[in-house]
Amino acid sequence: MTDTISRPKNSTIDRAENERDRGVVLDVRTGEQGTLAAWAGCFAEVWDRPRERLDRLLGLLSDDIVLKAPIRPPVSRGKQAARRGFEVALHGMPDLRADIHRWRGAGDTLFIELTFRATIGGHAIAWNNVDRITFSGGIAVERVAFFDPTIVRRAFFRNFAAFRQLRRMRAAGREGR
């Protein structure tokens, strides 16, 4: 998923790539470790079928994960809140998926460019997103999602079916509190 370019051996880029490929935790439940490339690969696999792989997604994240996004809630703290947030989104958009386009990492930061897709009110929508994942001690401790929420908001107010879908999603979120 990363670009390959030709360059002299032992260059600054080589040293940066070695730094980038130091170990990160691929599954906090087992302690399995790998590279940022492997972490990005696991993330891509999860978002291919997130309903079936939610536990795998949560296995990539620390127990104290902080999730930030330009939607409600804007910040979630902890794995239980993360689980609930993902469950609510998947309840409201059961066919939610994401295609990973590329990633780039350095030090304790990984950026992943992706496009989310879902059906809202009978219409397929897609929105571009960049996730910034921050690692501490090799464990993902923060995910900040950067996207324009207007695309999703407009889709939920497009027609009555979409608005009903939004109300069901919000009700599911309130039930979990």
Domains identified in the chain and CATH numbers: 12-175 (3.10.450.50)
Distance of alpha carbon 77 from alpha carbon 81, whole angstroms: 6
- pLDDT per residue as tens, the chain (177 positions): 444 333 334 433 344 444 445 699 999 999 999 999 999 999 999 999 999 999 999 999 999 999 999 987 789 999 999 999 999 999 889 999 999 999 999 899 999 999 999 999 999 999 999 999 999 999 999 999 999 999 999 999 999 999 999 988 888 777 654
Q: Is the peptide bond before 73 cis (omega within 30 degrees of 0)?
A: yes
Helical spans, DSSP H, in 3-138:
12-20, 36-48, 54-59, 79-92
**What is the pTM (predicted TM-score) of this model?**
0.82
Contact residues for 80 (Cβ-Cβ < 8 A; gap 6+) = none
Q: CA-CA distances (angstroms) from residue 163 to 70, 78, 92, 94, 144?
A: 19, 29, 11, 15, 27
| pLDDT for 12 | 37
Nearest to 46 by CA among 93, 81, 97, 5: 97
Beta pairing partners, 27: 32
